[in-house]
Chains A and B, each alone.
Chain A
């Protein structure tokens, strides 16, 4: 209305308004980025530190390396953000960003490169010499090789992933599709089980494992963790199945498929994202598991990576922090790689969610 009445007296200054909008947007973005950066610092720093220590030699100064690492990385990060905020979009910005990245990497190599060593990772390829150096009574001398622990961890988390997804998928499907007596209470029970602190069960599970003759066996712990993980997996997968339309399943059946074929050929492919998400979560849970392997594998004849890390840091002959850090890095790496490959699916998952 006002435009029509006052058009002659004051034409709005469009360019000024556009500039103001740009500034508002930039300011808002800057605040958001600043906040996120500050919040993630405490999370990122320990990992940087871990990396720095694991790469520092015996006489080296881990702290110096950390600060240099941090300073260079922070400078690079700030430069990248400034470019993203202010530089014109398109080719120039891209080229600038690549330049900054290269400079940062070069600075890292020049600044901290000379101080770095990979000696701490020698336990990976030459455990005998590490053991000899640390003394035959040191933990690393007494323990089986890191590779057997790594293998155990993979088998442990892998088997758990397999069992949980294979059991949870049909269970979730049934809960999503069929109505049967007790369905509602079953769903509520699942939630309750998930909310229940599993640690409270340790003693009971220990006794049960003892009677079942599964103490000290990796498969026993796998079963325990599967039982604990299943409620969550079923609940999440049910959300994915709920999102698959009833029609396409019925369509498959009129096309000549059996109920099972319809499930396998038509429904399951729609929930692949959910299966990957649930599988990844289960794998990561198994990979990080410490409490139940520690309690249930009393004789420690087979170790997982979490136990390996624990024993390296509990060495009665004195702790070598560089070694602990190196083992830590090796421990984190597979989880990180898995996460990078599956993060696309993890973000689709919301608890009991509709997203598919």
Chain B
């Protein structure tokens, strides 16, 4: 059990900077997910913590002790690799017992701990098999048991569920989460599946291109993203992002003028989550749209609409579509849930938008290119 602190940690391979200065504190017993697109440095962060890579600069602290110079073998970190990295020539029993070979654990205690770890992840019936004779899910459990048997201070999981089928993934997700809260080990899980991150973790680190874009609870990332990257990355189906221009207390978004809750001037991007849009059967509202595509997704219906904002996605709970393609429907949205980002992509906190009741004439503008595209 340990608290982890990263203090301006960077990592470069030759000239390429893989991690920009990174500051981070993870509390004892916390379950944190690292989420980000491929190649953004998630695995690198884990390997730095495990001691497999040395940071180019900065300090890594466990419980306020610098461990930069501590060997990987002495850090007492349990890690599950994306490939599981089981030892093919050893049986499951020997695989799980492997970390204990390097500790002064008496034979009978080692046996007991191996059996306990195996029982914990329910592979105690498979102890005599070799990794080649196991299914993906079983291999993943064995890897987890091997990481847990040494009673690590920190558990690192590198995309442990990516090789599993959907059903197994959901089951393992719950199992890992339950196990973690029972054992109380500080845990970092790397994933690029946001559902995985939001369902399992206390906090999510959203990474982009070697930087931490935002750290927060799943809800914080979802409702108040710091920038346009986080807004676009979190949420499925993704948020609608529309270019626009703020002119004091109004903003021109697409072909529509919206009223702003605060004064702002300059180029903006307007963000609206598909599930925050409500579709209304009467076309009698301040804003309307034409349904151009309907995709049933089981419990939800995913609509694509042509609106004065341009193309807009909307998500509605329900099992059958209420509208047909080509129909004109009324649109409203929850003003509190709207997001604005400035020209650099940073969130403009406190700025919301609502549909003005008086319909303005479209004002052609040469300053934003999306206008022409939307006008068609």
Contacts and interface: CB of A to CB of B under 8 A. Distances in A.
Interface in B72-99: 72-75, 77-79, 81-83, 85-89, 98-99
A250 interface: yes
A253 B98 CA distance: 11
Given A256-B150, A269-B89, A270-B89, A250 B98 contact: no
A254 B51 CA distance: 8
**Interface residues of A, dominant DSSP:** helix
A245 interface: yes
Contact of B87 (A252, A253, A256, A258): A252
B146 interface: yes
Contacts of A245: 83, 85
Contacts of A254: 50-52, 72-73, 75, 77-79
Contacts of A228: none
Contacts of B86: 248
Contact of B102 (A247, A248, A257): A257
B102 A255 contact: yes
A254 B89 CA distance: 18
A251 B150 contact: no
B99 to A, nearest CB: 4
Interface string B151-180: 000000000000000000000000000000
B72 A270 contact: no
A205 interface: no
Contact of B99 (A247, A255, A258, A270): A255
A253 B47 CA distance: 12
Contacts of A247: 81-83, 85
A258 B51 CA distance: 13
Contacts of B74: 256
Q: Which of A247, A251, A253, A270 has the most chain B CB atoms inside 10 A of its CB?
A: A251
Given A248-B86, A270-B89, A255 B146 contact: yes
B69 interface: no
A253 B85 contact: no
B87 A248 contact: yes
B299 interface: no
Interface of A: 245, 247-248, 250-258, 261, 266, 269-270
Interface of B: 47, 50-52, 72-75, 77-79, 81-83, 85-89, 98-99, 101-103, 146, 150
13 contacts: A245-B83, A245-B85, A247-B83, A250-B81, A251-B81, A252-B98, A254-B51, A254-B52, A256-B74, A256-B99, A256-B103, A256-B150, A269-B87
